[in-house]
Structure 1
């Protein structure tokens, strides 16, 4: 059900659509950078869990993936380009510990994928 709200003035609506367009542009830039990093490193990048100070381990990036069996949080351990050049991820299901492979990376995953690649490749912000 849609409702009309009196505060949805033209500037607000315009700003919303401008932000949507900017988001699409940033996603395209992110995809190009992900592909460039993967190609530069042989098409695949893997990173393993980090041991914390208490002896446990954690993963640098966990992302939500949707599939036939519902939604799952996956601790990312691997990102690669498949034989068709599509972006794929693999990792450990946060709930039951199963290994998941060949998960499709969609635009909503690009920010998390870049965070994973930055961690795995040791990319840090420049010191100011």
Structure 2
């Protein structure tokens, strides 16, 4: 019986230590996104690069689980993510792609990649993109 109590206390303590490593993210981050995209069609391949202003808004955070929106002048998406146990990374997933942010104080910096999968068939077939964000809490 004594070992069960010690085990339960030990597990409880480890959860408290892990919970302390998870930061509470700020509500709004803004900055810029650098994007590279390629339409790899055989008839008309085209590569495009651009830097655009961007905003990431936290909708809900429950411990390491995060729900947020990402928006730039041409795009708005609902995304989800999970903060690493050490509180230093936010891995995200969204329709068509994924990425990882480094959490450093009031900054989120990270990169990811995906495939465009919306719009008329001819516009999104074989279109891929990569991005990097540099965002700071307001």
Asked if these proteins are the same fold (TM beyond 0.5), I'd say no
Question: Which of structures 1 and 2 has the larger relative contact order (alpha carbons within 8 angstroms, sep 6+)?
Answer: 2
Kindly indicate which of the two structures has a greater share of residues assigned to helix.
1
Which of the pair has more CA radius of gyration?
A: 2
